[in-house]
């Protein structure tokens, strides 16, 4: 049985569009979105411990170990495996622990789903190392307890999502290149969703309305209007990137992106990004790099 899994990617997602179609009784918003995986990622390293401790071996400024989604994901998985083993074996099950290292590349509060992706990678890697035997569906249900974006990363394919993001249908998306700009602000998701100015009644669309290569994949992001009003930096980045094409915000921001059909077009845009902003080029991926673990 392997004891370590190193260099496990936790890729970013882009919301190619994001419509808010309603609100649930618990306050969570009903969405329709297209999730696109891209090859810009955090890197996680896992080492099995024989005791049942979960330790984060690298510090993430601003994220205490106990609230790190990676640590919370590992604990949740431990509990789920313990519950499953007691049903199956009915005997002495000894839970394992893990040391987890995180190389954080994805900006936090960026709308790239970094924390959620880290959590999903942790569930996939530790389920494998601990030989937990949980199915993809079981892991997705666990992931939803950690955040609305987590099931998508476990689903492992680009998707049309509904509900709060947990109802997923696989969708083939164009093989595009993206330039992503971090406009220098961090936007907590709840600030945008709790705004009285948020449009919550966009008319639902059908997945069959989409086809590869049409502009329909790139509808609007309902969260963008609220974000640009409160954060002029986001408006400025969208305006600048708009010189190269259809620029928009991903998720609840703050990052903005623009799609290109050719890599050299993305390179040209990236080269001229003003120096006050961090920016990256990323390629569309069809599948999560760890999909094979499940
Ligand atoms: C907006 C999206 C779009 O993909 O992405 P991000 O911008 O965060 O990456 C997601 O729906 C975010 O998912 P995630 O970041 O996992 O959100 P959660 O931790 O579950 O929720 C954070 C807070 O946002 C609000 N929230 C979140 C999702 C949703 N469908 N409705 C909501 O109202 C709730 O107030 C919740 O307390
Ligand atoms: N491993 C983690 N990586 C990033 N953020 C984390 C992590 N664990 C917990 N968080 C918390 O989740 C928040 C949202 O982070 P992130 O997922 O990167 O942004 P977004 O939801 O905008 O895509 C962070 O501000 C941070 O407080």
Q: What is the DSSP string of 133-183?
A: ---HHHHHHHHHTT-TTHHHHHH-B-EEEETTTTEEEE------EEEEEE-
Q: Tell me, what's the pLDDT at 89?
A: 56
Check if 156 has its Cβ closer than 6 Å to any atom of ligand 2: no
Instruction: In whole angstroms, give the CA distance from residue 52 to residue 81.
Output: 12
**What is the residue with the minimal CA distance to atom 23 of ligand 1?**
190
Alpha carbon 61 to chain centroid, angstroms: 20
User: 69-88 and 114-129 are packed helices; what angle lies between their axes, rounded to 10 degrees?
Assistant: 30
Q: Which residues are catalytic?
A: 13, 149
pLDDT per residue rounded down to tens, the chain (294 residues): 789 999 999 999 999 999 999 999 999 999 999 999 999 999 999 999 999 999 999 999 999 999 999 999 999 999 999 998 876 655 567 899 999 999 999 999 999 999 999 999 999 999 999 999 999 999 999 999 999 999 999 999 999 999 999 999 999 999 999 999 999 999 999 999 999 999 999 999 887 776 655 555 667 999 999 999 999 999 999 999 999 999 999 999 999 999 999 999 999 999 999 999 999 999 999 999 999 999
Residue 135 annotated as lining a ligand binding site: no
Q: Tell me, what's the pLDDT at 215?
A: 55
Residues in contact with ligand 1 (CB, 6 Å cut-off): 15, 18, 27-29, 31, 33, 111, 113, 116, 147-149, 164-165, 189-190, 193, 251-252
Residue 292 annotated as lining a ligand binding site: no
Q: Tell me, what's the pLDDT at 218?
A: 67
Q: Tell me, what's the pLDDT at 207?
A: 78
Tell me: ipTM over 0.85.
yes
- Domain 177-283, CATH: 3.30.70.890
Which atom number of ligand 1 is nearest to the Cα of residue 31? 30
Q: Distance, CA 67 to ligand 2 centroid (Å)?
A: 10
Q: Which ligand is nearest to the CA of 249?
A: 1
Residue 58: burial class (beta carbons within 10 Å; 0-12, 13-18, 19+): middle
Q: Distance, CA 81 to ligand 2 centroid (Å)?
A: 25
Domain(s) of CATH 3.30.230.10: residues in the chain = 4-170
Domain(s) of CATH 3.30.70.890: residues in the chain = 177-283
Q: Tell me, what's the pLDDT at 208?
A: 73
Distances (CA, A) of 18 to 29, 36, 80, 89, 226: 11, 12, 32, 44, 13
Residue 114 annotated as lining a ligand binding site: yes
Domain boundaries 4-170, CATH class: alpha beta
């Amino acid at each position: 049985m392997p004891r370590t899994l190193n260099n496990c990617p936790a890729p970013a997602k882009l919301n190619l569009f994001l419509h808010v179609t309603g609100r649930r009784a618990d306050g969570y918003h009903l969405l329709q979105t297209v999730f696109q995986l891209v090859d810009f990622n955090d890197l996680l390293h896992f080492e099995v411990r024989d005791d049942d401790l979960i330790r984060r071996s690298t510090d993430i400024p601003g994220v205490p170990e106990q609230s790190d989604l990676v640590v919370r994901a590992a604990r949740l998985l431990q509990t789920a495996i313990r519950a499953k083993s007691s049903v199956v074996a009915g005997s002495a099950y000894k839970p394992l622990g893990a040391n987890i290292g995180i190389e954080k590349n994805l900006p936090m509060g960026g709308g790239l789903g970094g924390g959620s992706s880290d959590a999903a990678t942790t569930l996939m890697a530790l389920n494998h190392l601990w030989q937990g035997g949980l199915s993809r569906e079981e892991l997705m249900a666990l992931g939803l307890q950690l955040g609305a974006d987590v099931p998508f990363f476990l689903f492992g394919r680009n998707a049309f999502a509904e509900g709060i993001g947990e109802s997923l249908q696989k969708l083939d998306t164009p093989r595009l290149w993206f330039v992503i700009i971090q406009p220098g602000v961090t936007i907590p998701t709840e600030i945008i969703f709790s705004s009285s100015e948020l449009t919550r009644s966009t008319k639902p669309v059908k997945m069959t309305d989409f086809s590869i290569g049409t502009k329909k994949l790139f509808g609007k992001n309902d969260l963008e209007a609220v974000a640009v009003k409160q954060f002029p930096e986001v408006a400025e980045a969208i305006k600048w990137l708009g010189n190269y094409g259809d620029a928009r915000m991903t998720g609840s921001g703050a990052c903005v992106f623009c799609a290109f059909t050719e890599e050299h077009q993305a390179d040209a845009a990236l080269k001229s990004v003003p120096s006050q902003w961090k920016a990256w080029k990323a390629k569309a991926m069809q599948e999560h790099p760890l999909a094979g673990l499940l």
